[in-house]
């Protein structure tokens, strides 16, 4: 069996150790004689798994008192709409910092529910740099301030947490959660679709401050209300039990790796390896993203001659390098370097890139 070096943007690589563990437990999980997918979420075995996954996430991220952790469904996209419903009444306004595709989509999905005000945008820079702080026009009365710490398609990342004053900060961390330590106390709400850095798609992890959980929001069905999910330990209806299980295994793996401090160092090194290869290629490869805004998780790059793109993709695939085709919004290539991608995979990629240059330069 050969596993490829997987640079997919999402759904993305999972740690091999997690997959092997899941494989070994697939037919008989925890001595139950059934797979975890075949058991009631209300049974004591699954309830213990659920609690342990939450406890591990709380430890990994050092989640302070006063925050609730939820395991939800719907993908990050559904929560683009559900967050405004929960955090604001009909006449409210919320601020959005738009730094790429996902921020744009968050605004669009929020707009039926409140005034989604673009307080800053880097659209003029084609989202290839973060907007300068002195251009931000924050409303101190906003219901919340939403931003995307890492824009998965454009490859731009905040390397610090913006100061939102007294306005609760809401972060779509889908593509960089758990990639380094963050100070959760700076945030009102953190949410992430699982399929980049946590587990399979179909699961959303949310960390929400209790005063936001208590907000009245709009009239809505129970199933949309975060407080209802919280009151039912994220089991208001049948949760994604398989996703929750795999997330728990990933959290355990992260603890074994030394936690987020260690992951942060590794991720910085992986990204530095790839950017150095791009910047040191004498113009053969180019990163379109402003240096200060470059993402450690998603690295778009172009070839000096786009006529070579097809050859690059064919030859890289033949060398066991998976999913390097870039998103059409940026063009060229994109390598995603999530937690589950080892340094060795990046070394293989960089060697391939040098080799390709030698053959086509
Ligand atoms: C992938 C992604 C999303 C969309 O997630 P879905 O689960 O498809 O809804 C949203 N935001 C960011 C930053 C992403 O990377």
What is the full DSSP assignment across 182-214? Answer: --GGG-SEEEEETTTTTSSSS-EEEEEEHHHHT
Q: Each residue of 237-290: pLDDT tens digit?
A: 999 999 999 999 999 999 999 999 999 999 999 999 999 999 999 999 999 999
Is 222 annotated as catalytic? no
- Give the residue whose CA is nearest to atom 3 of ligand 1: 76
Residue to probe by mutation, ligand 1, list 8, 9, 10, most atoms within 8 Å of CB = 10
- Give the residue whose CA is nearest to atom 2 of ligand 1: 174
| 234: Cβ contacts below 8 Å, ≥ 6 apart | 50, 70, 71, 72
* Tokens standing for residue 214: 């208590």
Q: Give ligand 1 pocket residues (Cβ under 6 A).
A: 10, 75-77, 102, 148, 152, 172, 174-175, 193, 196, 201
CA of 87 to the centre of ligand 1 (A): 20
The domains located in the chain, with CATH, are 16-256 (3.40.640.10), 259-360 (3.90.1150.10)
Residue to probe by mutation, ligand 1, list 76, 196, 334, most atoms within 8 Å of CB = 76
- How confident is the prediction along the chain (361 residues), in pLDDT tens digits per residue? 689 999 999 999 999 999 999 999 999 999 999 999 999 999 999 999 999 999 999 999 999 999 999 999 999 999 999 999 999 998 999 999 999 999 999 999 999 999 999 999 999 999 999 999 999 999 999 999 999 999 999 999 999 999 999 999 999 999 999 999 999 999 999 999 999 999 999 999 999 999 999 999 999 999 999 999 999 999 999 999 999 999 999 999 999 999 999 999 999 999 999 999 999 999 999 999 999 999 999 999 999 999 999 999 999 999 999 999 999 999 999 999 999 999 999 999 999 999 999 999 8
Atom of ligand 1 nearest to the CA of 10: 1
> Measuring CA to CA, which residue among 351, 339, 343 is closest to residue 297?
339
Please tell me which residue in 5, 29, 95, 196 is annotated as part of the active site: 196
- Give the residue whose CA is nearest to atom 10 of ligand 1: 76
DSSP-assigned beta bridge partners for residue 328 = none
Is 102 annotated as catalytic? yes
Q: What is the dihedral of CA 152, 197, 86, 148, to 10 degrees?
A: -30
- Give the residue whose CA is nearest to atom 13 of ligand 1: 174
Atom of ligand 1 nearest to the CA of 194: 7
CA of 358 to the centre of ligand 1 (A): 37
Question: How would you write 28-95 as a 3-class SS string?
Answer: CCCCCCCCHHHCCCCCHHHHHHHHHHHHHHHHHHCCCCCEEEEEECCHHHHHHHHHHHHHCCCCCEEE
- Give the residue whose CA is nearest to atom 12 of ligand 1: 174
Say if pTM beats, i.e. exceeds, 0.95.
Answer: yes
CA of 84: how far to CAs of 53, 88, 227, 231, 258, in Å? Answer: 27, 6, 14, 20, 36
User: Helix 259-279 vs helix 44-61: angle between axes, to the nearest 10 degrees?
Assistant: 60
CA of 192 to the centre of ligand 1 (A): 8
Is 172 annotated as catalytic? yes
């Amino acid at each position: 069996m050969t596993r490829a070096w997987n640079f997919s943007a999402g759904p993305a690589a999972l740690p091999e150790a997690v997959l092997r563990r899941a494989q070994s437990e697939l037919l008989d999980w925890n001595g139950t004689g059934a797979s975890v997918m075949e058991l009631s979420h209300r049974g004591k075995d699954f309830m213990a798994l659920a609690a342990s996954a939450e406890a591990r996430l709380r430890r990994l991220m050092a989640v302070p008192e006063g925050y609730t952790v939820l395991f939800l469904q719907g993908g990050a996209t559904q929560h683009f709409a559900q967050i405004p419903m929960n955090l604001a009444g009909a006449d409210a306004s919320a601020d959005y910092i738009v730094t790429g595709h996902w921020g744009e989509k968050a605004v669009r999905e929020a707009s039926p529910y409140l005034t989604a005000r673009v307080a800053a945008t880097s659209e003029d820079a084609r989202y290839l740099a973060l907007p300068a702080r002195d251009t931000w026009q924050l409303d101190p009365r906003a219901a919340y301030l939403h931003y995307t710490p890492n824009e998965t398609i454009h490859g731009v990342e905040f390397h610090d947490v913006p100061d939102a004053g007294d306005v609760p900060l809401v972060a779509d961390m889908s593509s960089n959660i758990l990639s380094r330590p963050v100070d959760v106390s700076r945030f009102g709400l953190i949410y992430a679709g699982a399929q980049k850095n946590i587990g399979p798609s179909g699961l959303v992890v949310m960390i929400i401050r209790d005063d936001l959980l208590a907000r009245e929001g709009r009239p809505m069905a129970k199933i949309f209300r975060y407080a209802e999910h919280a009151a039912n330990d994220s089991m208001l209806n049948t949760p994604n039990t398989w996703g929750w299980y795999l997330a728990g295994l990933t959290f355990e793996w992260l603890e074994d790796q030394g936690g987020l401090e260690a992951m942060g160092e590794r991720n910085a090194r992986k990204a530095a390896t790839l950017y150095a290869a791009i910047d040191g290629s004498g113009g053969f490869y180019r990163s379109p993203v402003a240096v200060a805004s470059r993402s450690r998780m998603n690295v778009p790059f172009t070839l000096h001659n786009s006529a070579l793109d097809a050859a690059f993709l064919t030859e890289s695939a033949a060398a066991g390098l998976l999913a390097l085709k870039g998103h059409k919004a940026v063009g060229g290539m994109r390598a995603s370097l999530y937690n589950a991608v080892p340094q060795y995979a990046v070394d293989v990629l960089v060697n391939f890139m040098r080799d390709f240059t030698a053959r086509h330069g």
